[in-house]
Structure 1
Amino acid sequence: MPMSGTQPSLYQQLRGHLAALKLTAAAEHLPSVLAQAEAEQWSMTATLEHLLAREVEATEARKLAGRLRFASLPTPATLAGFDFDAAPGIDRKLLDELATCRYLESATNVLLIGPPGVGKTHLAVGLGRAAAEAGYRTYFTTAADLAARCHRAAIEGRWATTMRFFAGPTLLVIDELGYLPLPGEAASALFQVVSQRYLKTSIVLTTNRGVAGWGEVLGDTTVAAAMLDRLLHRSVVFNLDGESYRLRDHHAKNDALRQTATGTRRPLQ
């Protein structure tokens, strides 16, 4: 379809139709698409496909931005940015498989266990980001914040609404279980969240305590056993070890400073 003969009035009508249909990206790209179509002699079908593709790209970008806002990820960490050299115990092939998000289809959980600073939160955020980018509704919280929110909900009569909220996302990321002891009502709230998601949707959970110590963290060995039973029934477990990356970074900066200082020092004359 030659474009050189397009009437200006028809062009304005077309832009008006796109605006009326709220196809703002297509309207914005209309001049460049028409110019490229004329230069490369596209068919009418090809021109229309390129124009609508711009609208689809913009729509998907808006949807992703919305999912990321809802996810409330605390950092821009990605799985690709993880330092595998500093975590030799990580099964990279398994992590690559998790990056495909297929585990979400089977409501599989992921437990990241290890001392502070070994990259648990980085991996949890990276998994959350991958899920959001793949189109899954994702939400990130800490164990302490989840417990506090449930406690407020119980006081204010919003318990059922809050439970529905935490049941909703396809992936719920719960960070930092075990850093602070949880009071009885908090442990009960966490158990109920885990229980209502059991075999339906996935949880990524990070903790600095091995599963044997969860009874102490939750203050109730029975609740701990019941929660672990649900989390581990269908799960992938990573045991991370090694020196804290914060300490590694601190040591590296000290070494660099020391080398700079010794390298620039001149002997006394």
Structure 2
Amino acid sequence: MTEQAADAAIDTACRLLLLPTIRAEFPDITTAAAKDQITYRGFLAELLMAECDDRARRRSERRIKAAGFPREKSLRSFDFDANPNVDPATIHTLASCEWIKKSQPLCLIGDSGTGKSHMLIALGTEAAMKGYRVRYTLATKLVNELVEAADGKQLNKTIARYGRVDLLCIDELGYMELDRHGAELLFQVLTEREEKNSVAIASNESFGGWTKTFTDPRLCAAIVDRLTFNGTIIETGTDSYRLASTRARAEESAKAG
């Protein structure tokens, strides 16, 4: 078989076997293998690892997309120096996702602009990259969806759908008051997830202020207990880390100038 015929056969086989990465990278890996005198076994390993790595990358991208994050945020882009309330060691420990493996909750509490949503999305992204199924939603959006599902007699189906994800990220809890019916439905979702999945929330209200969101004291206490039992609580503070970061960059520029 000539090299041209071999290349054509490899291309056809890769299409039939659904090996797009090997098909795309075969010429370059072949050239490098010949130059470095790699063994047949090593050459095969290079091809297969390239395919596996690319498939893992594409799976991560699909999980991140399925999570429904409103924007891209990463731990690398968070300015820890601008917000000393957030301990980098604690965040990097959370990035290992052991808390998700143990079905533990996470609460991020702080004023607007202190990095809660950034951290929630970044940790959710880390979880998706590590193979966990993640779903992001706003608290009000989730409650509205649950109310509509209840009205349409689809509540059990909707709750089951949220129960299938490994990590449910609920943002902006506390921005708006929830009526008793909505709060009860939210509690039902949290209860359904008990001991099976993790939930992470970001709230601009301290737990003491949650009585504004959940007007029933007993229901409020039950939700707080559900979200804090055996979990991690991070208080991101009151000062905007974005303003602090901008101010620090301006001071550095002034010194350099």
**TM-score, with normalisation over the residues of structure 1?**
0.87
Partner of residue 232 from structure 1, selected from 228, 234, 241 = 228
1:222 aligns with 2:218: yes
1:132 aligns with 2:161: no
Amino acid paired to 2:138: T
Partner of 2:27: 31
The range that moved more, 203-212 or 82-91, is 82-91
| Structure 1 segments unaligned to the other structure (5+ residues) | 260-269
Partner of 2:142: 146
Amino acid paired to 1:174: I
Q: How far apart are the structure 2 equivalents of 1:251 and 1:35?
A: 51
Amino acid paired to 2:152: E
Q: 1:1-269 to 2 correspondence within 5 Å?
A: 7-245=3-241, 248=244
Q: How far apart are the structure 2 equivalents of 1:220 and 1:168?
A: 29
- With over 3 angstroms needed to count, the CA separation of the structure-2 counterparts of 1:222 and 1:36, relative to structure 1, is same
Amino acid paired to 1:71: A
Shift of 1:248: 4.8
Q: With CA pairs under 8 Å and 6+ residues apart, which has the higher RCO, 1 or 2?
A: 2
Deviations 1:217-266 (A, max 9, x none): 1121111111122221120001121322455578789x89xx9xxxxxxx
Partner of 1:266: none
Regions of 4+ moved over 6 Å: 249-253
* 8 A Cα contact 1:113 1:238, kept in partner: yes
Aligned residues between the structures? 253
Q: How far apart are the structure 2 equivalents of 1:116 and 1:142?
A: 15
Q: How far apart are the structure 1 equivalents of 2:238 and 2:228?
A: 24
| Structure 2 segments unaligned to the other structure (5+ residues) | none
Deviations 1:35-54 (A, max 9, x none): 22211221111111111122
Amino acid paired to 2:181: E
Q: How far apart are the structure 2 equivalents of 1:209 and 1:183?
A: 17
Q: How far apart are the structure 2 equivalents of 1:252 and 1:230?
A: 39
RMSD: 2.2
- With over 3 angstroms needed to count, the CA separation of the structure-2 counterparts of 1:252 and 1:39, relative to structure 1, is closer
Max radius of gyration: which structure?
Answer: 1
* 8 A Cα contact 1:214 1:221, kept in partner: no
Q: How far apart are the structure 1 equivalents of 2:245 and 2:81?
A: 14
Q: How far apart are the structure 1 equivalents of 2:207 and 2:158?
A: 27
Q: How far apart are the structure 2 equivalents of 1:252 and 1:96?
A: 23
**TM-score, with normalisation over the residues of structure 2?**
0.91
- With over 3 angstroms needed to count, the CA separation of the structure-2 counterparts of 1:40 and 1:247, relative to structure 1, is closer
SS of residue paired to 2:181: helix
Deviations 1:173-204 (A, max 9, x none): 10011110011221011101111111221111
Q: How far apart are the structure 2 equivalents of 1:73 and 1:247?
A: 23
Q: How far apart are the structure 2 equivalents of 1:31 and 1:85?
A: 46
